[in-house]
Structure 1
Amino acid sequence: MGERKDKQMGYCDTINDTSSPSVAIIRTLADAKGVDPLELPVLYDVVDLEAMDEILTGSGTSSIKFSYDGLNVLIKSDGCILIQDGNEQGAEPHN
């Protein structure tokens, strides 16, 4: 994965063609938090993973934004995953 960490952007990665969007997002969240994916709180409690995969793999341009375990997450249909610390004042993923 092509990760990038910096104070302004937070954590940026991309969804590759070999995994579903939800699998890539879980891996990216685990990388951003520095933990094993199995140690994360259940993502399905926050967002419907099947619906998210359908939206992100469908035709057209779309994005999904949600808060998860102290993080603001933005996933775009072009494969970009942006994660920022939700505890920072005014922190919100941006493109």
Structure 2
Amino acid sequence: MTGEDLLETLRSFMAERDWGQFHSPENLAKSVSIEAAELLECYQWNGDADRDEVAGELADVLTYALLLADKLDMDPEQIIRAKLERTGQKYPVEKAKGRSTKYDRL
């Protein structure tokens, strides 16, 4: 399945349920954050989270992120590649490899 196929599946799923009416950019952004918190909750008390629970919460985060990108007419692949380009300039391999130091302290 390609990214576009997945997006079409999401669009159809939402349309069948008439959920698009609730999908303002604001609501979708809130939902990304809420679902990300639920993903984090999987690891709240130990680092060995249940893989199935993590998969479900991660799917929710990705779903809302893709729906938000679609609502804002943004191509997920394009915006990720652009962000990687900017991040690569801030964190050149020769300075950042193997380090978690923030870019302004490299």
TM-score by length of 1: 0.26
TM-score by length of 2: 0.24
Greater share of strand: 1
